[in-house]
Amino acid sequence: MASEELARKLERRLRREEAEDGSPLPAPLGAPAPEPPGRPPTASADAELSAQLSRRLDINQGAARPRRCRVFNPYTEFPEFSRRLIKDLERMFKLYDAGQDGFIDLMELKLMMEKLGAPQTHLGLKSMIKEVDEDIDGKLSFREFLLIFHKAAAGELQEDSGLMALAKLSEIDVALEGVKGAKNFFEAKVQALSSGSKFEAELKAEQDERKREEEERRLRQAAFQELKANFST
């Protein structure tokens, strides 16, 4: 005990002398080491903060573009399109989604336009994506892909644009199957209201077809079991 008390007194005396000389003081016995000073923010952190502040300013001014969820229901977001048309467009989208990641990137769009017989320059491809790229990620989601055909049917695309070429060469008559030649978005919405019964009829037809296929499969299995039983007797 006496030796510990002596050590503490010597330590306090040493700290007083060093404080008078202006030297850095050692940490007391048993005390945790002081944490190093924080690092200055990196350039990436500054850029991220600047982007967040810019978006906050856009939100306050009402100029921010809405962020959409990747998962969506095409039948409710594009009610002017028939179920058959949406399924056809979905098959086409998956055909050119070589990476199977749910997006068509610049190179996949390049391949698509070459296959359709309307090759585009690098800048032309970027311009095509930019025109419907709502989340500004440099590639096309299925929703943005549908938006191309919505704009084409509503007359919102330039006749000589790459997107119009894509819509025309896709072998899908969007004007007939989609908004049925509507000249603007509001006319399309009015026509969509009257297509609710058609949507329900198509859905019921798909369910009936599925039931019929299941019944045929059950009958084939029963016939096979009966044939198998006849051979085993």
106 domain-assigned:
yes
212: domain range? 179-232
Number of domains in the chain: 2
Same domain? For 96 and 163 the reply is yes
On whether both 83 and 159 belong to a single domain, the answer is yes
Q: Please give the mean pLDDT across all residues of the chain.
A: 75
203 and 133 within one domain: no
Q: Say if 67 falls within a structural domain.
A: no
Position 124 in a domain: yes
Inside any domain, residue 183:
yes
Distance, in Å, from the CA atom of 102 to the CA atom of 140, rounded to the nearest integer, reads 9
126 domain-assigned? yes
Asked if residue 173 and residue 183 are part of one domain, the reply reads no
> Is there a single domain that holds both residue 190 and residue 158?
no
> What is the distance between the alpha carbons of residues 153 and 156, in angstroms, rounded to a whole number?
8
DSSP state of 29: T
pLDDT digits (tens, 9 = 90+) for 52-79: 777 667 666 655 555 555 567 999 999 9
Give per-residue burial for 60-70: e unless 16+ CB within 10 Å, then b. eeeeeeeeeee
Tell which of 177, 197, 224 closes a domain: 177
CA distance 146 to 140: 10
> Is pLDDT at 231 greater than 70 in this prediction?
no
Tell me the two tokens of residue 144. Answer: 């943005």
Residue 10 pLDDT class (50, 70, 90 cuts) = low
Same domain, 110 and 130: yes
Please give the pLDDT value at position 205: 77
Residue 190 has pLDDT above 50, yes or no: no
Q: Quick one: 190 and 168 in the same domain?
A: no
Return the CATH number at 122: 1.10.238.10
pLDDT digits (tens, 9 = 90+) for 104-151: 999 999 999 999 999 999 999 999 999 999 999 999 999 999 999 999
Residue 193: its pLDDT value, please? 45
Who has greater pLDDT, 4 or 12? Answer: 12
- Model pTM? 0.49
How many whole angstroms separate alpha carbon 112 and alpha carbon 92? 10
E-only strand ranges, 13-121: 103-104
Average pLDDT score over residue span 197-215: 77
Percent of the chain with pLDDT over 70: 57
How many other C-beta atoms are found inside a 10 Å radius of the C-beta of residue 181? 14
Co-location of 166 and 189 in the same domain? no
